[in-house]
Structure 1
């Protein structure tokens, strides 16, 4: 049994992404895993705090501290993120800039992470739902420009393995077969954790 932290970066209007996140959670629970969920849009935090003092140990809001607690106590981190025009939402970038801040030597800030060394025993998966422009660009060159999150954040912070899943756009929620296909795939991913 693994402990899983699911981070969602979807607004309530983004039905397809939220359905996928719910499917992953359902699969994980059925697989006997312990699940904690975080929706970035539900958090009460200042998305501009990093710009005020990027190198200082600015105190994080209580809800952000809870997210760090969830990540520290999870074996596996799962991030559901929409990609628009080949980029992730700025609120997600700000969220990660704040919680994964490092000192001048590239190590996690002790004020945020305590005595925790790099997060080298943890695994992660990024599930990206693409819009049409991002999907067409991805089809051309398979260059995941929207995955600096994998290399520059998660792997840099020491996550042992980081896998990615790229999901084409759901043009219409009426395409039930397409949505069901992806819900089934994502639920299976949740069941097996990593």
Structure 2
């Protein structure tokens, strides 16, 4: 049985991202997998990696719990909006504070290469935006997706990482949103 962790990077609990997370979670439960949700906006932690990598900051209890949950996961689902081409700052801070050397990867001595410490896990990114996904890809090169997929998850050994883009949110009606919620549910259900 798969252990699935849904990580909601939208700081507002009443967002459409929360509805997508709920729909995905419902599909996962229907598939018979275990599922836990991390709502980053509910966590108490300093999102600033204050000393960079030169000095380790102690992880707050919420981050310790989140890391244990992530380590136990077989499949990670990241749900977040695209703001200014990137992810919300709180989500970026969550990654900065947790995906650390010795935890998510470890540099190889006297080498430019590294050990990937999160191998064996898979992931899906579900991202919402106020532009069509094709436009975000062709005009901007998908910076938030590249950052999360290639520069974080795959860098740490998580593969494959599938991507689902959802938009245009600001001009969508209820029928369109229901279609997207059904899509999120079906993605969760497909984990069986």
TM-score (norm 2): 0.86
C-alpha distance in 1, partners of 2:6/2:81? 14
Judged with a 3 Å threshold, the aligned counterparts in structure 2 of structure 1 residues 190 and 9 are, in CA distance, closer, same or farther, namely: same
C-alpha distance in 2, partners of 1:24/1:189? 7
Judged with a 3 Å threshold, the aligned counterparts in structure 2 of structure 1 residues 96 and 139 are, in CA distance, closer, same or farther, namely: closer
State the Cα distance separating 1:14 from its structure 2 match: 5.0
State the Cα distance separating 1:36 from its structure 2 match: 0.7
Identify the residue that residue 97 of structure 2 maps to in structure 1.
98
Q: Deviations over 1:139-168 (max 9, x none)?
A: 644721222111111000111211111111
1:53-92 matched pairs, under 5 angstroms: 53-92=52-91
1:4 touches 1:78 (CA, 8 Å); kept in 2? yes
Identify the residue that residue 122 of structure 1 maps to in structure 2.
121
1:135-146 matched pairs, under 5 angstroms: 137-138=135-136, 140-141=138-139, 143-146=141-144
C-alpha distance in 2, partners of 1:137/1:188? 25
Identify the residue that residue 29 of structure 2 maps to in structure 1.
29
Identify the residue that residue 40 of structure 1 maps to in structure 2.
40
C-alpha distance in 1, partners of 2:137/2:148? 20
1:85 touches 1:131 (CA, 8 Å); kept in 2? no
1:76 touches 1:193 (CA, 8 Å); kept in 2? no
C-alpha distance in 2, partners of 1:136/1:192? 24
Q: Deviations over 1:91-132 (max 9, x none)?
A: 1111101100126xx518xxxxxxx96111000111110124
- Runs of 5+ in structure 2 lacking a partner? 108-114
Task: Give the CA RMSD over aligned residues.
Answer: 2.3
C-alpha distance in 2, partners of 1:123/1:55? 30
Identify the residue that residue 113 of structure 1 maps to in structure 2.
none
State the Cα distance separating 1:169 from its structure 2 match: 2.5
TM-score (norm 1): 0.85
C-alpha distance in 2, partners of 1:13/1:68? 21
C-alpha distance in 2, partners of 1:136/1:77? 24
- Runs of 5+ in structure 1 lacking a partner? 109-115
Farther off after superposition, 22-31 or 116-125: 116-125
Farther off after superposition, 39-48 or 116-125: 116-125
